[in-house]
């Protein structure tokens, strides 16, 4: 995100009923089938979900994730505290310790430790933590903005940059493709970001994504998005990919999706996201939900998010009951057929006494019982680039 774009005050922003992405016409011209998702008309597929999934695993897929909320918070001169310190009262991560250009996955929690959203925080280049970028889920951005504005000090400025597009280039060939177009981007490592330029268009490039593959997310002004997308798909290694493959890729990667695997009824410990509760912040406290989280870390949870590998080829979808004998012990929150592995996989919350790896369970899918086994996640190993060994 570019500091020059910090000009849209959120206090007067209103959520549209159904929005269109900056690349709406581009998607339709490239053969996308559009569906409504997170309040926007979005491409679910172009040539087919499995083909797009496989292409991303083998080469480079281009995703439009402009529905995500791109926010900045900043503190000007005279503020009693910087933006990072203020944000730490709402998030359990070590935000104040972020170096310029570094990113951190974190969680917006309520007072009871329930997850309001998961998000990424980036230090946009300030040594003092005065300006931070935040990317939140598209379906939750208006609720997130309201929550942040309610709980951040008045001296902290919160902006929504709805004049910017967000593209994700994901896959093993993404680094070579992007570096050919935008020299220097290859030098980024996982969860780092920096400013670049392409033909006079300012870019904010982060080496991150939600597919489990190596890749990048590129924030840029919406009026330059179509030309940049055209330049990317002009490379034979790149094809546009829709929401369908994005969902199957993130499921194989064991990455939870807000509104399905995460909600205000789930907490970070039960969700297997304890890594987002930094050790320093666990000890110091002072953030929403701290008491609940540290208690569950110490005493355990009633249920856990687990991975399930299913027998046969019939997948289990969200809502399927997880059974141990004739007793329901959990529920599926995400499920589908894994194109990479050739069999169905799922995520579920199950009672902790049935959450051990290798536990045999069954899933009730419309009255039919499917055999399943608790398995470690990710189902397909992550391929993030962390630098040369």
Full pLDDT tens readout for the chain, 389 residues: 333 333 334 444 454 578 899 999 999 999 999 999 988 999 999 999 999 999 999 999 999 999 999 999 998 766 678 899 999 999 999 999 999 999 999 999 999 999 999 999 999 987 666 899 999 999 999 999 999 999 999 889 999 999 999 999 999 999 999 999 999 999 999 999 999 999 999 999 999 999 999 999 999 999 999 999 999 999 999 999 999 999 999 999 999 999 999 999 999 999 999 999 999 999 999 999 999 999 999 999 999 999 999 999 999 999 999 999 999 999 999 999 999 999 999 999 999 999 999 999 999 999 999 999 999 999 999 999 999 86
Length of the chain: 389
What the block records as the tokens of 322 is 């997880």
Question: Could you check whether the bond before residue 384 is cis, i.e. omega within 30 degrees of 0?
Answer: no
Q: At CA 351, angle to CA 350 and CA 354, rounded to 5? A: 85
Residue whose entry in the numeric block shows the structure tokens 């016409």: 25
| Gyration radius of the chain's alpha carbons | 21
**pTM of the full structure:** 0.93
Domains of the chain: 12-68+162-252 (3.30.1360.120), 302-389 (2.40.30.110)
Extract the runs of DSSP E, i.e. beta strands, from the chain.
Answer: 19-20, 33-37, 40-45, 60-64, 69-75, 103-109, 115-123, 131-136, 156-160, 164-170, 193-198, 201-206, 215-221, 238-240, 303-310, 321-324, 327-338, 343-351, 360-365, 368-375
């Amino acid at each position: 995100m570019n500091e020059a774009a910090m000009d849209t005050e959120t206090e007067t922003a209103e959520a549209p009923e159904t929005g269109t992405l900056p690349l709406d016409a581009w998607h339709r011209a490239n053969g996308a089938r559009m569906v409504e998702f997170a309040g926007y008309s979005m491409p679910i597929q172009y040539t087919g979900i499995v083909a797009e999934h496989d292409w991303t695993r083998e080469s480079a897929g281009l995703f439009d994730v402009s529905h995500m909320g791109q926010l900045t918070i900043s503190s000007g001169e005279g503020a009693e505290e910087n933006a990072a310190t203020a944000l730490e009262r709402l998030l359990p991560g070590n935000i104040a310790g972020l170096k310029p250009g570094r990113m951190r996955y974190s969680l917006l929690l309520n007072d009871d430790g329930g997850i309001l959203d998961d998000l990424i925080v980036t230090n946009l280049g300030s040594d003092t933590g005065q300006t931070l970028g935040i990317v939140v889920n598209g379906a939750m951005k208006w609720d997130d903005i309201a929550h942040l504005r309610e709980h951040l000090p008045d001296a902290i400025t919160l902006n929504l940059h709805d004049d910017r597009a967000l593209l994700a280039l994901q896959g093993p060939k993404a680094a070579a493709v992007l570096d050919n177009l935008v020299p220097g981007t290859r030098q980024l490592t996982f969860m780092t970001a920096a400013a670049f330029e392409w033909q006079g268009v300012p870019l904010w490039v982060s080496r991150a994504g939600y597919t489990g593959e190596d890749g990048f997310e590129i924030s840029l002004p919406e009026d330059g998005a179509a030309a940049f997308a055209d330049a990317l798909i002009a490379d034979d290694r790149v094809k546009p990919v829709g929401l369908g493959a994005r969902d199957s890729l993130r499921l194989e990667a064991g990455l939870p999706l807000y509104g399905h695997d995460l909600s205000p009824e789930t907490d970070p410990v039960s969700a297997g996201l304890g890594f987002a509760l930094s050790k320093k912040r666990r000890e110091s406290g002072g953030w929403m939900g701290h008491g609940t989280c540290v208690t569950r870390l110490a005493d355990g949870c009633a249920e856990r998010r687990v991975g399930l590998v299913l027998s046969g080829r019939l997948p289990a979808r969200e809502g399927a009951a997880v059974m141990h004998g004739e007793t329901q012990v959990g529920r599926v929150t995400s499920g589908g057929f894994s194109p990479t592995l050739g069999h169905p996989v799922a995520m579920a919350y199950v009672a902790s006494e049935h959450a051990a790896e290798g536990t045999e369970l069954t899933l009730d899918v419309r009255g039919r019982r499917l055999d399943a086994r608790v398995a470690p996640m990710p189902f397909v190993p992550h391929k993030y680039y962390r630098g040369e060994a």
